[in-house]
Amino acid sequence: MNLRERLLSRPIVYRTFKRVVLPSGTLERLVADHFVVAAGGRVLDLGCGYGDFAALFADRCSYLGIDHNAGYIDRARVLNGGSPAEFVVADVADSIVVERGPYDLIMMSGVLHHLPSDAVLSLAATIRPLVSPSGRFVAMEPVFDPDQRLTARLAIAADRGRYARDEDGYRALLASSFDDVDTTIVSGMLRIPYTHAVITARP
């Protein structure tokens, strides 16, 4: 881990970074437009970080956040104190993911680009049977796109996640297990030049 990665692995540094780059209301818009689940649904947030999505679900859904960074999970528990949201220190490949299913929404925000392709293929095969028949898997990831500005491409190439892909790359990995995979390119979500792909997969 280099110095930048060590700093960002601290919840206070990562939280400050997100506050700088994310315009207010962004998470609410993502939940309304992409991380969609009906009231009463079961949500699994894989790689939940310090749990900033939890408050947008926990008053109407069951919410389980999993992350292998114990510092992030500690922070998530503090920030969501008094909420029914649950946070567990675990790897996305750990058995708790299967044991606690099924889910109506399995979400990953900025996590697939931290995982090599064999890990994503294995994860897709594991979670596919855990998505309820009317449910979905949704990931939002940095993406290389021919139409993006060079500055966005450079920012994504410099990300601490080493496996950013193009749209087809993400789609192919999820399509190995899911029948129905859609991708959408989203530009301009952050205050810095950046491009995201939203990958939605249904069983």
Ligand X SMILES: C[S@@+](CC[C@H](N)C(=O)[O-])C[C@H]1O[C@@H](n2cnc3c(N)ncnc32)[C@H](O)[C@@H]1O
Residue nearer to ligand X on the CB measure, 102 or 110: 110
Q: How far apart are the first and last CA of the chain?
A: 36
Whole-number Å distance between alpha carbons of 164 and 42: 28
Residue nearer to ligand X on the CB measure, 17 or 134: 17
Among residues 43, 48, 143, 152, the one that binds ligand X under rule CB under 6 A: 48
149-153 long-range contacts (CB < 8 A, ≥24 apart) are: 149/193, 151/193, 152/187, 152/193, 152/194, 152/195
Question: Considering the complex, what minimum distance in angstroms separates the CB of residue 179 from ligand X?
Answer: 25
Cβ partners under 8 Å of residue 133, min gap 6:
203
For residue 116, what is the enclosing H or E element? none
Instruction: Identify whether the C-beta of residue 98 lies closer than 8 Å to the C-beta of residue 123.
Output: no
Q: Binding to ligand X by residue 69, rule CB under 6 A?
A: yes
Residue nearer to ligand X on the CB measure, 16 or 134: 16
Whole-number Å distance between alpha carbons of 117 and 84: 34
Question: Considering the complex, what minimum distance in angstroms separates the CB of residue 133 from ligand X?
Answer: 26
Q: Binding to ligand X by residue 111, rule CB under 6 A?
A: yes
Q: Binding to ligand X by residue 61, rule CB under 6 A?
A: no
Among residues 41, 103, 109, 136, the one that binds ligand X under rule CB under 6 A: 109
Q: Binding to ligand X by residue 183, rule CB under 6 A?
A: no
Interacting residues with ligand X (CB under 6 A): 47-49, 67-69, 72, 91-92, 109-111, 114
